[in-house]
Amino acid sequence: MSKGALSPDVKVLVVGAGAMGSGIAQVAALAGHPVCLYDTRAGAAEQGAAGIAAALDKLAAKGRLSAEAAQAAVARVQPVVQLAEARDAGLVVEAIVEQLDIKRALFAELESLLAEDAILASNTSSLSITALAAPLSRPERVAGLHFFNPAPVMKLVEIVSGLATGPAVADTLHATARTWGKVAVHAKSTPGFIVNRVARPYYAEALRVLGEGAADAATLDAVLREACGFPMGPFELMDLIGHDVNFAVTSSVFDAYFQDKRFTPSLIQQELVLAGRLGRKSGRGFYDYAPGVERPLPATEPVQAAERSVAVVGDLGVAAALIARLEAAGVAVQRRHGQEGHGAGWLEIGGARLALSDGRTATRRAAEEGVPNLVLFDVCLDYAATPRLALAMADQCGQGAWRAVVGTLQAAGMAVSRLDDVAGLLGLRTVAMLANEAADAVLAGIGSAADIDTAMRYGTNYPKGPLAWADELGVGLLTRALGHLGAHYFDTRYRISPLLQRKALTGARFHE
């Protein structure tokens, strides 16, 4: 079998005419393939084809597609009532119910029907490709072709190889997905593949911080959205996905990894599911979506007076851009020598020390370093432009020192959200855990560093790949933060990936 992309004249059979299957059929038809759409439900294939026609007409009306191209793609989609009508298909993509026995029965039928060189692909997001292929006489031609919803819009496709998947099959699917206009990555068949595994900490850490009462959902969402550049905060995203779905995925990954504590589901989310508060689709989740109900605003500190001058001691590392922002706001900045090491410095503002979080609580760090007026700030995407910054103050810190820090940062154009003194704040612990999970996925051979970062950027729209972010922040900072989090909670959830440890010890980067 050629390692190149499938020719556009190769027929594609899509089994399952729901939203995902119809979306995949639309993508294949737009790429020039004749497409057969099949579903066991009477009339479902015809309904799916009609939905494709309506979607393409809408794209043409908006000028995103020519009328001719839309009509040609619609003409390529043929609903069929029997699988035998598509026996000459060179690629099958199944998008049916997520039940192993049903998918296996389908693949057994397809194996007896199609030519020996036809590829059998599953759009499963949770089932083992190895298990799906195992009963077949030629398991090497089975692979995962995992699209993200909605398939015509989302760019990422995970090409998933089971133990028996032929390398040429995976390469063909990878090349074909690219010719279909998708961003394709290779992944090994393990629970969650890349995206659904690596993304778990984005929800889990926010839920834990919420559970500790550090701030409300609206504030935590604003911190990760405005300061860290994620397209949606975790709570509004879980409301959009549906808590039943999100909780089920987390529980599935947790069980599949033999109850590894890194994937422990949240009791808070379980309570929402039990209450029927599933998010947008039920009208209520973390937020109330009833008509006329206003969205709660994030907690923002009231305006305080700014200090006229501050001192920077040592090297602020990734946060060095704060200095230019302060100077542009008319704050005089004195520079003093301080601790050696990238990012080991701090700002002295009105009797307070302002430093980047390292995973300890501000209260513990203040006690250990003998600095009572300690305020910690969180990781963000770009200190030169961030509109919001999350802070936490030590219990020993005086209110006057706190107000001086807040007012000075406000003068530099930042809204300040105060979190209660939670270890690692929110941005740091989230990015550290995402990078840790991504590093373990590399170590396990689930995907390359480049593919994992690509998958997280295009499958979840993260502003950076977790490993690229680790390179930028410094792997040393992240390993220190994880070590402090583990000690704080006495929890193996924060164990440090061996690969992350090696990078920290050698100073090596994930992307050279």
Q: Which residues are catalytic?
A: 125, 146, 158, 196
- With helix as H, strand as E and coil as C, how does 277-327 read? CCEHHHCECCCECCCCCCCCCCCCCCCCCCCCEEEEECCCHHHCHHHHHHH
Provide the terminal-to-terminal Cα distance of the chain, rounded to the nearest Å: 34
DSSP 82: S
The two tokens of residue 364 are 């513990």
Which contacts of 210-214 are long-range, i.e. CB under 8 A and separated by 24 or more positions? 210/235, 210/268, 211/266, 211/267, 211/268, 212/420, 212/422, 213/420, 214/392, 214/419, 214/420, 214/421, 214/422, 214/426
Q: Cα torsion for 317, 321, 327, 329, to the nearest 10°? A: -140
Residue 3: which residues within 8 A CB-CB, separation 6 or more?
A: 168, 171, 172, 175
- With helix as H, strand as E and coil as C, how does 440-467 read? HHHHCCCCCHHHHHHHHHHHHCCCCCHH
